[in-house]
Structure 1
Amino acid sequence: MKNLLLIIFISVLAFKAFAQQTDRDAIKQTVNTMFDAMRKGDSTLLRSTFAKGIVFQGVASKKDGSTVLETENPDDFIKQIGTPHKGVYDERITFNDIKIDGPLASVWAPYKFYLDDKFSHCGVDVFQLMKTTDGWKIIYIVDTRRKDNCPE
């Protein structure tokens, strides 16, 4: 009986670990698809990665040293990506940490942003995603932006 319980316990743990890895891969794919859409200037592909009601915010430092929270309109961002523009918006990230609790996930990702191959700024993107019947969708993005002290 003890052996049976041990086998069941190990099986449950293995399944949970497999499911979490599958979710991690799907979460990374959603975020990478968002950045692929930015590079391509494809607003339809970009929108497909977002949940309805997505929120965009940025934490910015002002010249006086204070910090403010800026809220951006996601529709303006989507329109900007889809409107022909000079240069390729190339945001390069590193997946540092992904946390998952059922249908909710959080991603911490340092980044460097380039216009074509010219460095523009860096910071950290924090994504909140939810698992839907259509897969993982981004529900919230907050970031920091700076020109120096960038992640390696």
Structure 2
Amino acid sequence: MKAFLPAFALLCASAPAVAQQSTTAETAAVKQTIQTFFEGMRKGDSTLVRSTIAPGAVFHTISSRSGATQVQPENPADFLKAVGTPHQQVWDERITFDKVLVDANLASVWTPYEFYLGNTFSHCGYNSFQLVKLAAGWKIAHIIDTRRKERCK
């Protein structure tokens, strides 16, 4: 029993370091999924975007009409079709990672963004992503965002 206690104490002391390494790797993998999503948008590559989306994913946007807040669903299939349909200007959503939280197979990501059509500013807001870790890696299960033209940054 006396030999067991030092080994157990060493194991307990090293557990946070192992957990931190795992969390850092998972955070990087989550960020990469979101970066790939936006890379696909910029390229007009719906196959690349589709590779980041979980089966059954849900998209929403929050808007304000006549002062009333509304939650509007967006069909992911329609979004993918729009991304893959040739368009004159690059869809360039520029994000920064504000918060990335990971627990087991669930991640929540908060990203402020600015959206440009080519080099022309269109709108800004915040994205909230929910990701799930599947056999194929981290996939986006839910996106909800805000959109506005003022009070950016």
Q: Could you state the TM-score of these two structures normalised by the residue count of structure 1? A: 0.96
**How far apart are 1:144 and its partner, in Å?**
0.1
SS of structure 1 residue aligned to 2:87: coil
**How far apart are 1:11 and its partner, in Å?**
1.6
- Name which of 25, 30, 45 aligns with 2:33: 30
**Which residue does the alignment assign to 2:74?**
72
**Which residue does the alignment assign to 2:16?**
13
Query: For the residues of structure 2 that align with 1:94 and 1:25, how far apart are their CA atoms?
Result: 13
Identify unmatched segments of 5+ residues in structure 1.
none
Identify unmatched segments of 5+ residues in structure 2.
none
Q: Could you state the TM-score of these two structures normalised by the residue count of structure 2? A: 0.95
**Which residue does the alignment assign to 1:104?**
106
Count of equivalent residues: 150
Alignment of 1:102-141 (within 5 A): 102-141=104-143
SS of structure 2 residue aligned to 1:19: helix
Structure number with greater Rg is 2
Query: For the residues of structure 1 that align with 2:111 and 2:105, how far apart are their CA atoms?
Result: 20
1:40 and 2:12 are equivalent in the alignment: no
Question: What do the CA deviations read for 1:76-115 (whole angstroms, capped 9, x no partner)?
Answer: 0000000101100000001000111110000000000001
Give the superposed CA RMSD. Answer: 1.0
1:61 and 2:50 are equivalent in the alignment: no
- Name which of 142, 146, 149 aligns with 1:147: 149
- Look up the equivalent residue of 1:130 and give its one-letter code: V
Query: For the residues of structure 2 that align with 1:40 and 1:10, how far apart are their CA atoms?
Result: 46
Moved over 3 A (4+): none
SS of structure 2 residue aligned to 1:84: coil
**How far apart are 1:10 and its partner, in Å?**
2.1
- Look up the equivalent residue of 2:67 and give its one-letter code: G
